[in-house]
Amino acid sequence: MATGRINRAAYLFILPTFAALIGLKYYPAASAVYHSFFQWDGATVGRFVGLANYVQLFRDEIIHVSAINIVKFIIGRVALNLVFPLLAAKLVFHVRHQGAAYLYRVLLTAPIVVPVMVILLLWKFIYHPYDGLLNQLLEAVGLGAWRRAWLGDFETALYAVIGLGFPWVTGIGSAGFAFLIYLGGLQSIPREIFDAAAVDGAVSLRRFFRVELPMIASQLKLILILTVINTMESYVPVMVMTGGGPGVSSMVPGLYLYESAFLYDKFGYASAIGVVMTIILLIVTTISQRSIKSYSEAEP
Amino acid sequence: MTRRTALSLWFILLVSVWLAGGALALAQDQEIVIRMYAGDYTPRERTQSDRWDPPSYLNVLAQEYKKLHPHVTIEFLPEITPQDRFDTWIFTQYQAGRGPDLGTQLFSEVNRHYLKGWYVNLKPYLEKPNPYVEGNKRWADIFQPGALATGVAPDGNMYVLPTGVVGTGIYYNKDIFARVGVEPPETWAEFMEIQRKIQAAGYIPFAFPMAGAKATTNWSLRVIQDMILDSKLPEIKGTGEPVVRTMIEGEGISQKELVRAIKKGVYSAKDPQWQEQLRLLKEWSQYWGPGYLSLDPDAAYRLFVTGRAAMLYDTSAKIKVLETDNLRQFEFGVFDFPRITQESSPYATGVSAPAVGGYTGAGSWTVAATTIEKGIVDQVIDWLMFITAPQNYIPLANDLGWYSPGLIDLEGIDPKLEPFIRSVENGVFRIESFYRGLTVEYADQFYRVLQEYLTGRKNLEQATDEIQRYMEQAADELIERNGWTDLLAELGA
């Protein structure tokens, strides 16, 4: 009986969380699905248009370009988030001096606290065609011919946004935690496994690929899924750095959704974009979830 | 924790919320807080990163008003820039019933949103006397007729009082001009020639931003289009009569007239006369320096103020900024946009360049409809009357130094603003299709195609095919949104 009372009290306490979740997450999502069948300006009563928004969406050239861009974006960010924070974590993991390891950990994670907007504005300045650090560096090392308006060039704008955040150990947003997650994963590998691997002759690269990497597969999966979701949803870096331009060369679906809703008063159409993005995200994350098996999930 | 404890905690929480709400309501009975979004006029302290003095005079006015009305407090909301961020902010604020009690918003934006019921119709209030203007019997009488005309919405009501007059001009570096040995040009041909010389001397002739705000491109095209289509405007208007320039934007060719012309094929991107403006802009773009597609207005301004670029197209808002900016080490002047002559285009009629500007500066005042529910609408209007009284508005405008208030009595206005005001009084552009003329979506679509055309990724035919398609979509959308059934009937649709 006492347990039942405690449970009821516990449910009572989590009620506000559920209420907030329903009000702030599930209701807007359901509303978006509903309004995706309307021509709606976000304020006045909409007009039911059936599947017209979805038909328009598949015919929209900007959607086609932004879909290709987001695939490039996801591939780029996944590669950066999987490789560089992992390399850094691996290096710090092998630092024997405790004090030095602590110092490296702090130095590599400290940039996480810098607000995203500051990082973006800083990189915008680094890419500046006249005063930017990147062009000045190229000039200084005798590669002046490579100078260009990185964010104003149709060929480079998208890649400049993908590549911001060098040396990519602490990415922007939640990807910034990748380094810590990898390091935590490496530190949780039992010492005996390394000893056994050493006896079997697995050292350096072999140890990394045969022992460490399989043991942190669940961390890799987590970062992969988080990066895919964040990149798909994210539009702020593009909005701040290029506004989707020049032309639509760096446009992404999230930014187009935002513009359709708030600048063009097409909330119904924006809802349709959001619904399709959510469906694609669900499919991609399900595939990622199933295709990578962690050590504990692996067949014996 | 027992169930009784949990329930007790919930009870205490609810009672606390109720008591807090009651106390707040009690306080509200005694005190009125007016939330004001003043845009460029937003008062703030100078920070270390400021290179010029920010405005602060609204604080003075708020204090003086407080002396007259001790129960009223003015709360200034922080300024939101740039424009697209402001659009999002204002939309979400109004939708949540938190729109500023008194705000400033461009008339075109207000016309886009007035059907959503966000604003108070100011017309009846303008018929009342302004108690802060001696002998005034009708508040409307203190404003320039153009200001009042600009504020009228398509439904005939007035949801915005656009009182900020702004002008534009081409700012130039006198030192560079002297070193290169050139003078401010009067014609397009001269304009191209001096830029060629300036470029040859190693300077960026023109700081032309095409990232971020699209103002410079829009202004340039409005001016060029007005001159290039001068002979065609009567046909576009549909009257056959000459279209005169006035101080009021949209009075030349209205949005509805433009839509009709598009639907009839009179205004078309496939028309060589229309295409001439793109050709001229592309000709000009060779002097904008590398990387203009990634230059935002701030970066362009910096190129100019540091003496690397010789010219900058900007508004009257830049005078005070340039005068007080400690980065500037040169003398500057301002000249009007050059006239396009037959020497440069077969479509030129020799008409002078129109002004770009009008009643589109900060000070386009709106009152939120929620002030009626809150019972403070009269107080908000009273505060607006106080601000717009000439003895208050002139020092407020001079403190900012960017815009001239659209008042009849301008005694005491900063004389540096006079050339801009005069140019606007001579008449603004008569036709606009790149920003406010059609839809925001079309403006963005056009701009993106234009960037591809200017950089050679699309030729004129490809670009204009695409622009024409977007233009027709925008026209159809406006017909539907505005319910122009008479236009549909006229077109036989």
CB contact under 8 A, A12 and B452: no
Return the minimum-mean-pLDDT range out of A63-67, A69-73, B288-292, B364-368: B288-292
Domain with CATH 3.40.190.10 in chain B: 31-162+363-401, 168-358+431-491
pLDDT digits (tens, 9 = 90+) for B164-209: 888 899 999 999 999 999 999 999 999 999 999 999 999 999 999 9
Q: Please state, in angstroms and rounded to a whole number, the distance separating the CA atoms of residues A211 and B324.
A: 65
pLDDT digits (tens, 9 = 90+) for A44-64: 778 899 999 999 999 999 999
- What fold does the segment set B31-162+363-401 form as a domain? D-Maltodextrin-Binding Protein; domain 2 (3.40.190)
Chain B residues close to A260, C-beta within 8 Å: 441
Confidence tier at A295 by pLDDT (50, 70, 90):
low
Question: A43 to chain B: nearest residue by CA?
Answer: B116
In this model, does residue B26 exceed pLDDT 50? no
Residue appearing with tokens 């690929």: A209
Residue of B7, B91, B308 lying closest to A262 (CB–CB) = B91
CB A183 within 8 A of CB A92: yes
- What fold does the segment set B168-358+431-491 form as a domain? D-Maltodextrin-Binding Protein; domain 2 (3.40.190)
Domain boundaries defined on chain A: 1-28, 36-291
pLDDT of residue B32: 94
CB contact under 8 A, B1 and A247: no
pLDDT digits (tens, 9 = 90+) for B357-394: 888 877 899 999 999 999 999 999 999 999 999 999 99
pLDDT digits (tens, 9 = 90+) for A23-36: 988 999 999 999 99
Give the sheet arrangement for strand B332-335, strand by strand: B204-207, B309-315, B168-173, B332-335
Determine the distance in angstroms separating the CA of A247 from the nearest CA of chain B, rounded to an integer. Answer: 4
B24 compared with B339, residue with greater pLDDT: B339
pLDDT digits (tens, 9 = 90+) for B198-228: 999 999 999 999 988 888 999 999 999 999 9
Q: Is the pTM of this model over 0.90?
A: no
Tell me whether strands A38-39 and A47-48 are parallel, antiparallel or unpaired.
antiparallel
Q: Which residues pair with B366 in a beta bridge?
A: B103
Q: What is the 3-state secondary structure (H, E, C) of B143-199?
A: ECHHHHHHCECCCCCECCEECEEECEEEEEEHHHHHHHCCCCCCEHHHHHHHHHHHH
Exposed, middle or buried: residue A243 (CB in 10 Å: 0-12, 13-18, 19+)? buried
CB contact under 8 A, B441 and A245: no
- How distant, in Å, are the alpha carbons of A60, A146, B27, B28, B375 from that of B32? 50, 61, 9, 6, 10
Interface with chain B: mutation pick from A265, A266, A267, A269, highest number of B CBs within 10 Å? A265
pLDDT of residue B14: 61
Residue of B1, B290, B449 lying closest to A149 (CB–CB) = B290
pLDDT of residue B251: 85
Confidence tier at B326 by pLDDT (50, 70, 90):
confident
pLDDT digits (tens, 9 = 90+) for B78-96: 988 776 688 889 999 998 9
- Interface of chain B against chain A, CB under 8 Å? 1-3, 5-7, 10, 84, 87-88, 91, 94-95, 112-113, 115-117, 210-212, 290-295, 299, 303, 308, 439-441, 444, 448-449, 451-452, 455, 457
Question: B3 to chain A: nearest residue by CA?
Answer: A9
Percent of chain A with pLDDT over 70: 93
In this model, does residue A217 exceed pLDDT 70? yes
Q: Please report which helix (H) or strand (E) contains residue B35, including its range.
A: strand B32-36
Interface with chain B: mutation pick from A131, A264, A266, A269, highest number of B CBs within 10 Å? A264
Report the pLDDT averaged over residues B291-319: 93
pLDDT digits (tens, 9 = 90+) for A93-104: 888 888 888 898
In this model, does residue B69 exceed pLDDT 90? yes
Q: Please state, in angstroms and rounded to a whole number, the distance separating the CA atoms of residues B247 and B158.
A: 18
Tell me whether strands B364-367 and B161-162 are parallel, antiparallel or unpaired.
antiparallel
CB contact under 8 A, B293 and A245: yes
B475 compared with A176, residue with greater pLDDT: B475
Confidence tier at B10 by pLDDT (50, 70, 90):
low
Return the minimum-mean-pLDDT range out of A1-10, A132-141, B467-476: A1-10
Hey, what amino acid is at B3? R
Confidence tier at A300 by pLDDT (50, 70, 90):
very low
Query: What does CATH list as the number for A36-291?
Result: 1.10.3720.10
Q: Please state, in angstroms and rounded to a whole number, the distance separating the CA atoms of residues B240 and B257.
A: 13
pLDDT digits (tens, 9 = 90+) for A82-134: 889 899 898 888 888 888 888 988 888 888 888 888 889 899 999 999 889 99
Chain A residues close to B448, C-beta within 8 Å: 245-248
Tell whether A259 lies on the interface with B, counting CB pairs under 8 A.
Answer: yes
Q: What is the mean pLDDT of chain B?
A: 90
pLDDT of residue B155: 87
CB B330 within 8 A of CB B221: no
CB A182 within 8 A of CB A160: no
pLDDT of residue A297: 54
Chain A residues close to B6, C-beta within 8 Å: 9, 12-13
In this model, does residue A42 exceed pLDDT 50? yes
CB contact under 8 A, A41 and B87: no
Q: Please state, in angstroms and rounded to a whole number, the distance separating the CA atoms of residues B358 and B424.
A: 6
Hey, what amino acid is at B475? A
